[in-house]
Amino acid sequence: MTVLLLLMFFTNISLGSVGIGLLETMRILTGSEAVNASHEYIILKYRLPKALSAIMVGCGLSISGLLMQTLFRNPLAGPYVLGLSSGSSLGVALLVMGSGLLGSNIAVFAQSKYAVVLAASLGSFSVLLLVMATLWRVSNTMAILIIGLMIASFTSAIVSVLSYFTSAEDLQQYVFWSMGSLGRLDWQDLGILWTLLMMGIFIFLYLLKKLNAFLLGEEYARSMGVDTKQTRFLMIVVTGILAGSITAFAGPIAFIGLTIPHLARQLFSSGNHFILLPAILLIGSLVMLLCETIAQLPGSSFVLPLNAVTSFIGAPIVIWLILKKQKLIF
Amino acid sequence: MELKADHLGIGYSGKQIAFADRLELNTGQLTGIIGINGSGKSTLLKTLEGNLRPISGEISIGDRSIMDFKQSELAKMMSMVSSRSSISSALTVEEIIRLGRQPYTNWFGKLSKTDKRIVEKAINTLQVSNLKLRYFDRLSDGQKQRVMIARALAQDTPFILLDEPVTHLDMYHQSVVFDLLRKITRKNNKGIIFSSHQINVVLDICDELIVIDEAEIYQRSVQHWLEGDALKGLFPSDHIRFDEATRRFRLK
């Protein structure tokens, strides 16, 4: 599987609107002289960051999804259950659509990339704070799930109202953002994402054993010495930071967080987090690279919305796996 | 070792549903908790486990209040078998039983030789070695219950608390579980406390009996209960009576 991942990584980089041979790609990546200088530019400036961000986004979303499924003991949970991507959407919608109403100075600012990232981060972060606040008051895990979903519906309602009153141009900008894309990340963004991802993985490692205890339910986990309050808190913080920052940089990306953990469970027939962690990191990167490659429509100058591709690819795979195994392992 | 409760009020969100003046549970003793539906059997167990704050009074293990125990320390004193819990279907029997060693393992959950030996012993005691590699949700109710008791045993605590361990089982498997509980109490010197509706069996196998009746919790030896009149009033007398000669509750 690791071999498959490497192969996919190079394939992803070599394919795009301009096809660059696999050998040439490897030559450039290993630092030897490139045959074509413009190829080197394309690869180092655009394709390599995009491929790396695909891997990081795949890993980050998979971790968030797995954490939420374990926390809520619900196979339908994913990063979205906390309402984070809805929060990001609201932030961006307010910025893009709201700025049009507020005059030209702000409108120019709103076009810049960092304004969008900032708005998205603020959006998901405030939702995260809201979820934490409810966590403080409510100890029932199911209640948190429902509150998260309600926040999600509430924010999307505001977005719909906003889009109804907004100009076609601004609406289009918002829609583009909501389609998700990895093309927006430069090396600096990658650095930030990498740091956050590493932090997430470290906390996940710290939680590993406790997550397995959670598979018996919170009551059992507590009786086995797990500080369930602290564990639950960390699970939500990690999910919030990973899913929030990814949505901020790349826009909402559906399906990955929900389904990669299922793929891993079905393929390895296990719910054991010691097996699942490496599995979701591998599968998450692999699937995300695959989706990104397809979204590029190699050989053409068109680009498909990534958000749609992830669902196109992923949903059938999961259905097929379940039909094959006749059962959802959870 | 002793698990004790003094002036214990139990209940939810500040509302007391039952009160015990004194409970004293010892290792090497099998204790049954009986009472009608809604009397507070599960609440009492949860409170003793430390999962639910007592309304009043204090619970202690070996003269140390359970409030002073860290969660990880308490996990070395008491283990539990819950009656309603959604266990992941993606775990094998062996993985579940190994989880019982969590209070003793490092952050990575690595099992030492001792851990493995204790797990193996629990598996053998509960006779589930043929199920080791099976997934939990493929087991019958009787097998599931044995696996969860094995997990509790692997946790190697002086006390094991079980909430209605035989509820979904047929008569044969009920007797298997009851037999095992009695055996574990004696052989492994555990203090086992369980709630049950099978009053007749409880009277046969237990050493101590906790009765929850009209918001009062009493603990006496089984012998003591049988000698007095106390059991006669446990149920409304229109349908059930206690037959002293056979030590059995009977339908009228």
Cα–chain center distance at B185: 11
CB-neighbour burial class of residue B155 (10 A; exposed 0-12, middle 13-18, buried 19+): buried
Chain A interface residues (partner B, CB cutoff 8 A) = 73, 206, 208-209, 212-213, 215-217, 219-220, 222-227, 265, 269-272, 274, 329-330
Residue B192 has pLDDT above 90, yes or no: yes
- Of A6-20, A307-321, B9-23, minimum mean pLDDT range: A6-20
The confidence score (pLDDT) of residue B153 equals 96
Check A216 against B80: CB less than 8 A apart: no
Residue A316 has pLDDT above 70, yes or no: yes
Our CA-based measurement puts residue A133 at a distance from the nearest CA of chain B, in whole angstroms, of 20
What's the rounded mean pLDDT across residues B15-23? 94
Nearest 5 degrees, angle CA B107-CA B112-CA B117? 135
Residue A300 has pLDDT above 80, yes or no: no
With an 8 Å Cβ cutoff, is B26 touching chain A?
no
The confidence score (pLDDT) of residue A51 equals 92
* Identity of the residue in A212, A223, A330 whose CB atom sits nearest the CB atom of B79: A223
The confidence score (pLDDT) of residue B182 equals 94
**What's the CA gap between B86 and A150, in Å, rounded?**
25
Strands B191-195 and B15-26: unpaired
Better-scored residue on pLDDT, A116 or B125? B125
Tens of pLDDT, residue by residue over A52-68, are 999 999 999 999 999 99
What's the rounded mean pLDDT across residues A194-223? 94
Q: Which of A93, A22, A52 is nearest to A185 (CA)?
A: A52
Residue A104 has pLDDT above 60, yes or no: no
pLDDT > 70 fraction of chain B, expressed in percent and rounded: 100
Residue B207 has pLDDT above 70, yes or no: yes
Cα–chain center distance at A313: 15
Band of residue A108 on the pLDDT scale cut at 50, 70, 90: low
Residue B127 has pLDDT above 60, yes or no: yes
CATH 3.40.50.2000 fits B1-77+159-252, yes or no: no
Better-scored residue on pLDDT, A42 or A111? A42
What's the rounded mean pLDDT across residues B56-77? 93
Tens of pLDDT, residue by residue over B216-236, are 999 999 888 888 777 777 777
**What's the CA gap between A47 and B195, in Å, rounded?**
64
pLDDT > 90 fraction of chain A, expressed in percent and rounded: 27
Return mean pLDDT, chain A.
85
* Identity of the residue in A217, A225, A227 whose CB atom sits nearest the CB atom of B86: A217
The confidence score (pLDDT) of residue A31 equals 73
> In sequence order, what DSSP letters do the residues of A87-129 get, joined into one string?
HHHHHHHHHHHHHHHT-HHHHHHHHSHHHHHHHHHHHHHHHHH
Residues of A with Cβ-Cβ distance to B91 under 8 angstroms: 212, 215, 270-272
The confidence score (pLDDT) of residue B64 equals 93
Tens of pLDDT, residue by residue over A264-291, are 998 888 999 999 999 999 999 999 999 9
Q: Are B40 and B17 in contact (CB under 8 A)?
A: yes
Residues of chain B with CATH 3.40.50.300: 1-77+159-252
Residue A178 has pLDDT above 60, yes or no: yes
Strands B240-243 and B216-221: unpaired
Strands B191-195 and B159-162: parallel
The confidence score (pLDDT) of residue A330 equals 74
What's the rounded mean pLDDT across residues A292-296? 89
Query: All domains of chain A, ordered by start, with CATH?
Result: 2-325 (1.10.3470.10)
Mean pLDDT highest for which of A139-148, A236-245, B94-103, B233-242? B94-103
Residue A193 has pLDDT above 60, yes or no: yes
Could you give phi then psi for residue A31, rounded to 5 degrees? 90, 5
Q: Which residue stretches of chain A are H helix? A: 2-14, 22-29, 37-42, 48-72, 84-101, 104-111, 113-137, 141-165, 168-178, 187-214, 218-223, 228-250, 256-268, 273-295, 306-325
Whole-prediction pTM: 0.89
Which sign, positive or negative, has the C-alpha torsion A132, A133, A135, A140?
negative
With an 8 Å Cβ cutoff, is B246 touching chain A?
no
* Identity of the residue in A216, A269, A272 whose CB atom sits nearest the CB atom of B87: A216
Nearest 5 degrees, angle CA B24-CA B28-CA B32? 60
Band of residue A145 on the pLDDT scale cut at 50, 70, 90: confident
pLDDT > 90 fraction of chain B, expressed in percent and rounded: 69
- Chain B interface test: which of A71, A218, A220, A232 (most B C-beta within 10 Å): A220
The confidence score (pLDDT) of residue A226 equals 94
Q: Find, in chain B, the residue whose alpha carbon is nearest to that of A269.
A: B90
Return mean pLDDT, chain B.
91
